[in-house]
Amino acid sequence: MNVKGLLTIVIKILGLFMLPELFSMISLFIKSWEIFSYERDLLINNIAYVGFTFASLVLYILVLRLLLFKTHVLIDKITQNDDLESEFSSFKIHRSSVLTICIIVIGGITLLNEIPNFIKDIYIYKLESNDFSDNSLGHFRWVILSGVKVALGLYLLYNSRFIVSWIEKARKK
């Protein structure tokens, strides 16, 4: 494996590590749109808030796309002036094996981080729904977000081969 192959793997791992946070960004955008639709008092502030949230979501998606699917562009920019074609003699492992291990580790980390949040959000939702407060529906969104992250962690754990083949197929295009 050469240096460019190793850099490709490291960059894809970084992109995979950022993937679960995409759902948080989408949730934040939906919340900002909801604030915009309910509060008409501060129209300029609400438009700016929705605009900045949308811009950050688009930027996050573009960076994620660059890290996962357009890695060669980033590698070409990094290694533009350097001659990094030396081989590692002691590092003989296939790219798909490294990606599979990393996807499983990222799925495990996501599960370890989100299972406590999921249980906490369910508990808070149950407390708020017993009090008949108006905020219980708002907290139900956090239950859904945590549930989606737990499901994503499980998906990463159990379908790592499918994800690796999908990434490799996108790389070959």
What's the token pair of residue 135?
């905020």
Q: What one-letter code names the amino acid at 65?
A: R
Instruction: Please name the residue ranges forming H helices in 39-94.
Output: 43-68, 71-78
Hey, where are the domains in the chain? Answer: 3-172
pLDDT digits (tens, 9 = 90+) for 122-171: 887 877 776 665 655 667 888 888 899 899 989 988 888 888 888 888 77
pLDDT tens readout for residues 83-98: 555 545 455 677 788 8
Residue with tokens 């994503």: 152
Contacts of 88 (CB under 8 A, 6+ apart): 1, 2, 3, 6
CA–CA separation, 95 vs 93, rounded Å? 7
